[in-house]
Chain A
Amino acid sequence: MATRTKARAAADTDVVAGLAHGRSHERNVASVVFLGALWFSLFFGIVVLVVLIATTAIEGSARFDTDLVTNYDSTLFPDSAGVRAALVGTLWLMVTTALLAVPVGIAAAVYLEEFADNRRWYNRLIEVNLQNLAAVPSVIYGMLAVAIAALFGSDTTNIVLVGAVALGLLILPVIIISTRESVRAVPREIREGSLALGATPIQTTWRQVLPSAIPGISTGTILALSRAIGEAAPLLLLGVGTILFTPNGILSGFTAMPVQVYTWTADAQEEYQIAAAAAIIVLMAMVLALNGLAIYIRNRFQRRW
């Protein structure tokens, strides 16, 4: 269905392009200026991205040394302060967040897409609620995580588990929405074939629909995780600050890359600004690697029916 519409749209575009290629009206000043403005709009963002990475890399280049990743933060030696605690903390945080949010997100998406009767009011409520949650400010999730920790009687909130709860809740709506899209893209014929062979709806979902949707689900999940590791705001609410050790479990204290960048950027000392720039390059490398992986999976494995 989707492919048919797409094919028709492509054919239509050709027709339109053909008509437009008459170009008799495309040569006046206004439309050339207009096209120029559109080009400018498109490339503005891309140029900013390049400038951002380039200027930050130049500023931080003095600190591209092994100290940066092997040392802890230091108030005595700002020249050799490193992101070791933050880097390991971010990895801990990312894995724990994924373990918490991905199964629940996929389960919720599968229910909403495959089993929920969306004529029922409560399912429609879930629907609207999800769209709203996806746009709730991230800092609010930090407040929610503090309250959840208090519910379990814990006053210490700057531990990996609470951080992962905050980030997991933050990306849950994103995972649900992207998973639903990939599940929806699986053609109905596959489900009908499986049901016709006697499989139950649950078996059909588990053995046919989910495996077919894996590339799309992975893409959406990886993008959500890349968003999670760049978030500092909810972690600030949890009191995550500077620590001088690496976490050894989910109940261990931690710090994360974006928090480290924030702390250094907010410090007036020039050495810390340089360290922040270098740390940003490390963080951006992680984020870009995750985004690249997601795009690779999308292009390489995603089936189009």
Chain B
Amino acid sequence: MSSLTGTSSLSSDLRPRRRLHERLVLGLLQLSALLSVLITVGIVIALLRPALDFFREVSVFEFLTGTSWRPNLSPVSYGVLPIVAGTFMTTAVALLLAVPLGLGAAMYLSEYASDRTRRRLKPVLELLAGVPSVVYGFFALQFITPTVLQGWLGVNVGFTNALAAGIALGVMIIPTVASLSEDAMSAVPQSLRQGSLAMGANRMQTTLRVVVPAAISGISAAVVLGLSRAVGETMIVALASGGRPNLTADPREGMQTMTGYIAQTAGGENIVGSVSYNTLFAVGLLLFAITLVINIVSIALVRRLREEY
């Protein structure tokens, strides 16, 4: 009897000891992790409340399909399409630049560079993502537009234009595209490369026909993440893309974007609860919704990548 209790108390001692203050610590850790969910909920509430006030004055249909964005001029008009188009124009220019260059850099780092070269060059390339975006905005205004576009390329552009803003955006997201694509390509098993090389393919053919197709979901995730960055980036477009809503397909013209509108309007005086204040949050909500969809696509693509190998 006593020996049995002895054994049982011994075995209970061997279980991990749970002490009161440890439970407290664990609770605190759990709370910190939960905070991230609270942030999302907070964002939704923070955006939704003023946005709902806005939609009490302006119908959702008018907001989403209107082609005239004049929130501060009379006669006022709240058609968001011109600034959405501005966002898509600058983003498209950015992707046209960043996708080929980012993929090229990733292919070189993953398939051609030695380990040492990769270790040295990758941090330098990643510095591009660390440059504050307001600096890129200045660079677009002071260098890309006057020197590169008007000077070297002879493009007829104004002081602010979507092209320069898009180019600066593109440079900023090169590391995003390159870094994630490089991870995806490096994760492709060596046996696939060896098989291709053994069949007599050279490294270019192996890279383009074996490695890239095998890593395609990771590469798409990288591109989609770059897209999301470009859509949400604010300071570059606030400075370099201009402040005039402009529904046009010509990237040489200045056009306001969603984030540009938010930054330029937030800088002014806005009375809390006024329509102009609520308009900011309605645009913010739309921006959040667009990036949310893009991010979910990206996360789903990354998940497919992980399941393959």
Contact = CB atoms under 8 A, between A and B. Distances in A.
Interface in A238-297: 239, 241, 258, 261-262, 265-266, 273, 276-277, 280, 283-284, 287-288, 291, 295
A35 B112 contact: yes
Contacts of A126: 33-34, 36-37
Nearest to A260: B134
A287 B130 contact: yes
Given A115-B29, A135-B225, A45 B101 contact: yes
Nearest to A24: B202
A245 to B, nearest CB: 20
Interface string B1-32: 00000000000000011110010011011101
Contacts of A147: 42, 45-46, 49
A56 B136 CA distance: 11
Interface in B149-202: 171, 174-175, 178, 190, 193-194, 197-198, 200-202
B215 interface: no
Given A144-B46, A176-B36, A52 B291 contact: no
A284 B135 contact: yes
Interface in A139-178: 139-144, 146-148, 150, 155, 169, 172-173, 176
Interface string A83-107: 0000000000000000000001101
B288 A136 contact: yes
B40 interface: yes
A59 B228 contact: no
A131 interface: yes
Which secondary structure characterizes the binding site on chain B?
helix
Given A37-B104, A39-B108, A129-B37, A56 B138 contact: yes
Contacts of A16: 190, 193-194, 197
B75 interface: no
A12 B143 CA distance: 45
Nearest to B123: A295
B82 to A, nearest CB: 19
Interface range on chain B (Cβ under 8 Å from partner) = 35 or more
Nearest to A23: B202
A232 B131 CA distance: 12
B279 interface: no
A88 to B, nearest CB: 18
Interface string B40-57: 101101110100000000
Contacts of B233: 137
A112 B29 CA distance: 9
Contact of A173 (B22, B36, B200, B235): B36
Given A41-B105, A172-B39, A137 B130 contact: no
Name A's interface SS: helix
A197 interface: no
Interface in A219-253: 223, 226-227, 229-233, 236-237, 239, 241
A25 interface: yes
A39 B108 CA distance: 7
B118 to A, nearest CB: 10
A287 B134 contact: no
Contacts of A62: none
B259 interface: yes
B175 A45 contact: yes
Contact of A38 (B26, B104, B239): B104
A239 B33 CA distance: 30
Contact of A40 (B104, B174, B294): B104
A138 B134 contact: no
A261 B142 CA distance: 13
Contact of A131 (B104, B190, B299): B299
Contacts of A19: 194, 197-198
Interface stretch (B62-70, B246-254, B260-268): B260-268
A258 B39 contact: no
Interface stretch (A26-34, A63-71, A185-193): A26-34
A139 B298 CA distance: 21
Contacts of A172: 35-36, 39
Contact of A108 (B35, B43, B131, B235): B35
A144 B45 CA distance: 9
A56 B139 contact: yes
B287 A236 contact: no
A125 B47 contact: no
A20 B18 CA distance: 58
Nearest to B174: A45
Contacts of A26: 202-204
Contacts of B134: 230, 232, 258, 261-262, 265
Top 7 A-B pairs ranked by shortest CB distance?
A: A41-B104, A137-B232, A230-B132, A147-B46, A25-B202, A111-B29, A233-B234
Interface of B: 16-19, 22, 25-26, 28-30, 32-37, 39-40, 42-43, 45-47, 49, 100-105, 107-109, 112, 115, 121, 123-125, 127-128, 130-139, 141-143, 147, 171, 174-175, 178, 190, 193-194, 197-198, 200-205, 208, 225, 228-229, 231-235, 238-239, 259, 262-263, 266-267, 272, 280-281, 284, 287-288, 291-292, 294-296, 298-299, 302
29 contacts: A16-B193, A19-B194, A31-B205, A34-B208, A42-B104, A42-B109, A48-B171, A51-B143, A52-B135, A52-B143, A105-B32, A108-B29, A116-B33, A123-B33, A125-B37, A128-B299, A129-B37, A131-B295, A132-B299, A133-B40, A136-B292, A143-B43, A143-B280, A143-B281, A200-B19, A226-B130, A233-B238, A265-B239, A287-B132
